[in-house]
Amino acid sequence: MSRPYHYRQCGLDNVYLRNGFEVETTKHGETIRIHDVDGLHVAIGMCLIQEKKVLSGSEIRFLRHELDLSQKTLGNLLDKSDQAVARWEKGKNRMDGPADRLLRLLYESHAAEQRTGIRVRELLEQLAELDSSDFGDVQFEDTDNGWSRAA
């Protein structure tokens, strides 16, 4: 068995692959071909969100990139500023508990979206929009499917 490959391309310093990759020689030198990079990234993300430790800045950045979110969008989803997200990612500030739990939930939802069909990201986006809107009076009606907001 060959030695583990230090997989730095994900932006994390502590990820090593025991298998699932091949060393290929090209005219430009050796290169590494990783089998199922998307699956590997999901495995890394799931490992991160299941750890009981505080997420590091590079781990927060990894999850944000996997969610394909800008710092501003993640900040909006977590009710934080983009500067707060930038400080977390640079390791200057620690992410607070509620934001940490929401980021983990958001990633879990992303990784397992097909299970429920519900996208937590969409729900958080709707909640972020609610902060800036005024509902006024809200009317409900009893329907065959139970109570619901009247149209």
Question: Could you give the CA distance from residue 73 to residue 55 in angstroms, rounded to a whole number?
Answer: 19
pLDDT tens across 49-65, in order? 999 899 999 999 999 99
Question: Could you give the CA distance from residue 16 to residue 34 in angstroms, rounded to a whole number?
Answer: 12
15 contacts: CB under 8 Å, gap ≥ 6 = 6, 7, 8, 44
Question: Could you give the CA distance from residue 50 to residue 66 in angstroms, rounded to a whole number?
Answer: 16
129 contacts: CB under 8 Å, gap ≥ 6 = none
What pLDDT does residue 132 have?
61
pLDDT tens across 101-114, in order? 999 999 988 887 74
Q: Which domains does the chain have, with CATH numbers?
A: 36-130 (1.10.260.40)
Question: Could you give the CA distance from residue 71 to residue 15 in angstroms, rounded to a whole number?
Answer: 24
This model's pTM is above 0.85: no
